[in-house]
Each structure stands twice: as C-alpha cells, then as structure tokens.
A and B are shown apart, each in its own frame.
Chain A
Amino acid sequence: MRGLIKNKKGSDLLQQYVIFILLNLVFLAILLTFISSKVRGVAVLEESYSKNIALLVDAATPIMEMKINMEDAFDTAEKNEILRDEIVKIENNSVTVKLSADSGYTYHFFNDVDVTVFADVYPNKNYIIKINGYK
C-alpha cells in the first residue's frame, strides 16, 4: 500500500492529501447527485406542482389570471418527450400534472370554478391559470 502513491522523491505527503481530497470530492459529488435526483425526481415534481396549482385555484376568485413558473417541470417533461401543452390538465375539479409517459399526479380542488390552463408562449417556462367564472 505504501508504494502505491509514493513519488520518486519519496515526498508522498502532498500526493496523499490530494488523493484524499479528490476521494472526498468524488464522494460529495455522488451524494449531491443522489440528492439532486431525489429533489428533482418526476414523482416529487408532479406532486408538488399538482398540489400547488390545486391550492392556487382554491384560493382564487373569478377573473383572476395566475402565472406559475414551472421551469423544472418543463425541463423534465422535455427530457421525457412530453409536450408543453400536456403537462397540466384540469378536469372535473382535479389538477393532473404529467411529466413522463408512465406517471402523473392528480389532486382535487373544491372551488367550483371554470378554469383554463395553458403553457405560456415559447420559450417562457410558465403555465397560465385563468379563472373564468363560477360554474
């Protein structure tokens, strides 16, 4: 083991520290990648956006127009080949957010309003929620 990282001059201390720091950095990078994959995971994004939109609609009153930044969702949907206009759907007082072909999360809202949702013009990564009136 001793000879593994020993330089020709025999002063291996610096090399050892460098290797130690590099190993730590690799370890940290793996950890951050794992956390990032969890935080930006499809399921987490779908759930959080779906609940956010449902709560926004619950809090809204007619003729309101809301713009919600969904950059993470647009990026994930693009990777999974989901069209911009198919990310958010509102039907029967439920919001469905879909970021991949085989997933989706639906959350119910109780505000009895007629809602329209659509993606903002390209390249904006927003969704627009329009409360048209009470049903």
Chain B
Amino acid sequence: MATNNFFKNKNGEEVLSLYWFAIILIVAGGIVGMVFVFYGNPYDVRDIEANLLIDKIADCISYRGKINENLISCNDVKEFDFSQCHLNFDGEEEEFFYKVKIYQLEDLENPCFEKNGGNLNLEASYAINEFSENLPTGAEKSFYSLDNMENQYIIKILAVVRKIKQNV
C-alpha cells in the first residue's frame, strides 16, 4: 500500500492513494463513455413520425367517427389517393410506407378496402425489425368507424419509416 501513496501524513495514514484516483478515473471514464454513446447517436424520432403519419391518415379518412365516404368506401370503388390527405413526400418517397385496410365488423379476415403507398419493400423490413435497429421502424393502429348507413367498420393503418441515416 505504501508504494501507492501520493501523500502520507506523519503517522503513516494514507490520505491520497492511487486507488482513489483510479476509482475516480473509472467513474469519469464511464460518464464520458455514456455521454459519447448518448450524444454520438442521432435522436431516433421515427416512432413518433410513424404515429403522426397514422394520425394524419386516420383524420383524413375518418372524421368524428364517420368514414369520409367522399374519399374512401367499401361499397363502391373510389379513386382514393393519399395526396388527398395533404401528405407530401417529395424527395423522400422511398423512406415511407403506409397501408390502410378497412374491415366490415362481420368479417375481420378479409378487408373490404385496401390501399398502400410509398416504398413497398419497407413493409417486409418492418416485419422483421426486431432483429436489428438498422431496419425501418413503424407503428400500427386500428380504430372503429361508421359510414353514413351506420354500418360498422374496423380501420387498420400501418405506417413504416426508414430514415436510417438521420435516426440511427
């Protein structure tokens, strides 16, 4: 122990030793490492973005619990386009995928309406994203809605966001 002393008082008590500094250095090294890891990576906002995209599409196709039948319907074929929902992916089309499925309450297996947009490859990548954080992330939500005839529907919306360079 004596060889490790920086300073020693008259009675030979250790006041400062290499061990103290070693402990402080280890703790400081840990803090510096954590700061580097935390601030070295970009903030991942893809989950929030995917949820916002779902909310945006949901507000567009169903307002106050009623399906907007001018845009979307199970009874007749509509030329629904996601641009009608005020979405703009100019230059970033490949970074997003979104899908809307509408089910009649009596048949939750087969959707009566289905439409998707964006980069189709992202759907498969999202399905296996538990294996790597370097894959697209996303969210899926479903909600209940009615049409003008009071028919009941379940609407499922999936949104996937890639943007790996900016978020991972």
Contact residues of A with B, CB < 8 Å? Answer: 1-2, 4-5, 10, 12-13, 16-17, 19-20, 24, 27, 31, 34-35, 38-39, 41, 44, 47-48, 51, 55, 58-59, 92-93, 107-108, 110-113, 134-135
Contact = CB atoms under 8 A, between A and B. Distances in A.
B16 A20 contact: yes
B3 to A, nearest CB: 12
Contact of A112 (B15, B45, B53, B86): B86
Contacts of B147: none
Given A27-B28, A93-B90, A12 B35 contact: no
Contacts of B89: 110
B15 A17 contact: yes
B61 to A, nearest CB: 15
Contact of B52 (A44, A48, A55): A55
A108 B49 CA distance: 11
Contacts of A44: 39
B10 interface: yes
Interface of B: 5-10, 13, 15-16, 20, 24, 28, 31-32, 35-36, 39, 42-43, 45, 48-49, 52-53, 55-56, 83, 86-92, 95-96, 166
A118 to B, nearest CB: 22
Nearest to B48: A55
B87 A112 contact: yes
Instruction: Give the 10 A-B residue pairs with the shortest CB-CB distance, closest first.
Output: A112-B88, A16-B15, A112-B86, A58-B52, A134-B86, A38-B39, A13-B9, A51-B45, A108-B92, A93-B88
Q: Chain B binding site: helix, strand, loop or mixed by DSSP?
A: mixed
Nearest to A107: B166
Given A1-B6, A27-B24, A31-B32, A16 B16 contact: yes
B52 A59 contact: yes
A74 B90 CA distance: 30
Contacts of B28: 27, 31
Residue from the set B52, B89, B90, B96 with the largest chain A CB neighbour count within 10 Å: B52
A5 B7 CA distance: 8
Contact of A111 (B48, B56, B96): B56
B88 A110 contact: yes
B35 A47 contact: no
B5 to A, nearest CB: 8
Contacts of B31: 31, 35
A51 B163 CA distance: 12
Given A93-B88, A111-B88, A112-B86, A20 B15 contact: yes
